[in-house]
Chains A and B, each alone.
Chain A
Amino acid sequence: MRKRKNIEEKFFKSLSGLTTYSLIGILLFIIAVVFYKGFNALSFEMIFKPPEGGYYYGGEGGVLNAIAGSVYIAFGATLIAVFIGIPAALFINIYLNRMKKVQNLFRYLLDALWGIPSIVYGAFGFTLMLFMGLNASLLAGIITVSILITPIVVRTFDDVLCNIPKGLIEASFALGSTKTETAFKILIKQGFSGFITALLLSFGRGIGDAASVLFTAGYTDLIPRNLDEPAATLPLAIFFQLSSPIPVVRERAYAAATVLTIIILSISLVARYISGRNTFSNIK
């Protein structure tokens, strides 16, 4: 009997260890494949020039239009999301402080909102855009993406805020400060790492998301100069170029994918560095 249970233990330990290490392997594999394919086509011109004539048949140019469009959209959307999301997270933690049930109900709704796929947000953004009389433009893209990432901002910031000791809030009240003063002077300072993490996480999501801007932001070879002009985005640029029959253009899709991966990886590393200074690993 004893032997069998030890064999079982060994078997499952090594099997589960194998799957865990394979996760690291998968990540390295994905990054290696994208980088290996992409660095061949990556050049100065790729990053710093918009497409020129005949670009999609192998002509000169780069994907600056898409990089700029993505950054504009992600930046604008993050701005809106922070403007709405941060006070909302503070509200949940200050005004609903004594109502555990309501607080949990709000978190429950926000989590469900997080689960709605981005293509649905895209379809909603499209109807909203028609309703407001907009064309496919930078503005419509920003609005759609901001709706997509606001729940992320709220929940990420809220996760940090709800770990702040209640005594701190009560001490602030006891000194006679109002609820808003406690929220904007105490909670924001104490949860600043959460604020930055929420900011970076939603920015990364905004840059990487494609399905929501597919309907709303349009696509153009020019760098947008105005809110009512259409804007190309990096994920869509990758997607369109990858479906091209011409090998040179497909190579460029890989290069653009490399650029996107580098952007996402650096955002993730910075977020990790900042939040790592204030929290500790939360397994165990």
Chain B
Amino acid sequence: MNFSRVIYNKFLSSWMRISITVIILIPFAIGIALLLKSLPIIRSDSIFNLVGSGKWAPSEGKFGFRPYILSSVYVTLFSFLFAAPVSFLSAIYLTQFARGRLIKLVYPVIDILAGIPSVIYGVWGVLVIVPFISGFVAPVFNTSSSGFTILAGGIVLAVMCIPYMLNMLLEVLKTVPTGLKEATLSLGATNWETTKHVVLRNCFSGVVSSFGLGITKAFGETLAVMMVVGNTVHISFNPLQSGYPLPALIANNYGEMLSIPLYDSALMFAALLLMTIILVINLFFRFLMYRAVNQ
């Protein structure tokens, strides 16, 4: 080998090695940085107290995250209730019933829906969902509501989650061997029976993990939810009340966090909490998913 080739090889291979190392170190860097920043508040109060207490008064030094965590969970639950059936049924239609032409049409639609920025979903939610809830849904239940509610957050989040879940469901359903499906059909089963008894049994864990990953997506979404959910704390389980999810708490208070002691630490703790919850769920379901897809 001549000299310049050796130099090139050395240079480019170290570039590749450094790049991959940097990327693999990113999650650890994020974790450590957020942990260091939230140490002051963890020292001042126990983690159980922080997560379990419901009192939020930064000026008195009281930081209780329970209402925000509950709010997040609640909004996520609602979005799951709407998104899961829609994406599940669509995935089945696209893999079992649909003709090639529809598939060619739907694929770009899913991609575009996944690519629309969350602020656009927020604008859509403010223009459509919020008036819909205050004008139609609330009167049906004989209450009045501003429309900026947990329910609105759930609906907007559901629309955002559908393309994400659907993409993964399609990938999972694709792994069912065609021969297996054809064998079932040739025994006289209908398409739906094939789906119910063969396809679902074959990739049950993959379907569950797609749902799980969809949940983490909803749990961490910030701007769109923040725009429609009202951002006030109510400890009640009425979906027509406003809520205040964890990401919205971080995003709304960054302006004043440097002026009150421990406030910035509390918000960084919130970010750490969010990341930990999401990463744990994510790693778990991704693992199931990998086993389902590469079995």
Which A residues are within 8 Å of any B CB, using their own CB? 5-6, 8-9, 12-13, 15-17, 19-20, 22-24, 26-27, 29-30, 33-34, 37, 83-85, 87-88, 90-92, 94-95, 104, 106, 108-113, 115-124, 126-128, 131, 147, 150-151, 154, 178-181, 183-184, 201, 204-205, 207-211, 214-215, 235, 238-239, 242, 253-254, 257, 260-261, 264-265, 267-268, 272, 281-284
Specify which of A24, A183, A272 lies most central, judged by the most chain B CB atoms within 10 Å of its CB.
A24
Q: Is the CB of A85 within 8 A of B23?
A: yes
B172 to chain A, nearest CB (A): 12
Specify which of A118, A151, A154 lies most central, judged by the most chain B CB atoms within 10 Å of its CB.
A118
- Interface residue ranges of B18-32 to A (CB < 8 Å): 19-20, 22-24, 26-27, 29-30
Complex Cα–Cα for A79 and B26 (A): 18
Complex Cα–Cα for A113 and B236 (A): 34
Q: Is the CB of B97 within 8 A of A16?
A: yes
Complex Cα–Cα for A122 and B248 (A): 12
Interface of B is mostly: helix
- Given A147-B26, A204-B115, the answer on whether A16 and B123 have CB atoms closer than 8 Å is no
The contact sample of 13 A-B pairs, CB cut-off 8 A, is A13-B97, A26-B113, A27-B109, A87-B12, A91-B16, A116-B220, A150-B26, A180-B13, A208-B119, A210-B222, A211-B223, A235-B223, A281-B100
- Given A16-B93, A204-B115, the answer on whether A5 and B247 have CB atoms closer than 8 Å is no
Q: Is the CB of B124 within 8 A of A34?
A: yes
Q: Is the CB of A154 within 8 A of B23?
A: yes
Report chain B residues within 8 Å CB of A201: 115
Residue from the list B191, B216, B254 in contact with A13, Cβ < 8 A? B191
Report chain A residues within 8 Å CB of B89: 12, 15-16, 19-20
Q: Is the CB of B12 within 8 A of A124?
A: no
B196 to chain A, nearest CB (A): 9
B81 to chain A, nearest CB (A): 14
Report chain B residues within 8 Å CB of A17: 93, 97-98
- The reply on B43 being an interface residue by CB < 8 A is no
Report chain B residues within 8 Å CB of A180: 8-9, 12-13, 16
Residue from the list B33, B106, B108, B220 in contact with A117, Cβ < 8 A? B220
Q: Is the CB of A116 within 8 A of B30?
A: yes
Closest to B85 in A: A19
Residue from the list A33, A183, A254 in contact with B128, Cβ < 8 A? A33
Report chain B residues within 8 Å CB of A8: 190, 192-193
- The reply on B15 being an interface residue by CB < 8 A is yes
B6 to chain A, nearest CB (A): 9
Q: Is the CB of A257 within 8 A of B119?
A: yes
The 10 closest A-B pairs by CB, nearest first: A117-B220, A208-B117, A16-B93, A123-B271, A180-B12, A16-B89, A235-B119, A9-B190, A211-B222, A91-B16
Report chain B residues within 8 Å CB of A27: 109, 112-113
Specify which of A26, A29, A85 lies most central, judged by the most chain B CB atoms within 10 Å of its CB.
A26
Report chain A residues within 8 Å CB of B119: 208, 210, 235, 238-239, 257, 260
Q: Is the CB of A119 within 8 A of B222?
A: yes
B112 to chain A, nearest CB (A): 5
Complex Cα–Cα for A24 and B213 (A): 23
| Count of residues in B whose CB is under 8 Å from the partner chain | 95
Residue from the list A9, A22, A95, A106 in contact with B24, Cβ < 8 A? A106
Q: Is the CB of B94 within 8 A of A119?
A: no
Report chain B residues within 8 Å CB of A282: 174
Q: Is the CB of B123 within 8 A of A257?
A: yes
Report chain A residues within 8 Å CB of B191: 9, 13
Residue from the list A26, A178, A267 in contact with B9, Cβ < 8 A? A178
Report chain A residues within 8 Å CB of B97: 13, 16-17
- Interface residue ranges of B188-215 to A (CB < 8 Å): 190-193, 195, 213
Complex Cα–Cα for A120 and B31 (A): 10
- The reply on B183 being an interface residue by CB < 8 A is no
Q: Is the CB of A117 within 8 A of B247?
A: yes
Closest to A128 in B: B33
A100 to chain B, nearest CB (A): 9
Name 17 extra pairs, CB < 8 A, besides A9-B193, A117-B247.
A8-B192, A13-B97, A17-B93, A19-B85, A24-B105, A30-B159, A116-B275, A119-B247, A122-B251, A180-B16, A214-B251, A260-B119, A261-B120, A268-B111, A268-B115, A283-B170, A283-B174
- The reply on B145 being an interface residue by CB < 8 A is no
- The reply on B282 being an interface residue by CB < 8 A is yes
Report chain B residues within 8 Å CB of A13: 93, 97, 191-192
Report chain B residues within 8 Å CB of A95: 16
Q: Is the CB of B9 within 8 A of A9?
A: no
Q: Is the CB of A88 within 8 A of B90?
A: no
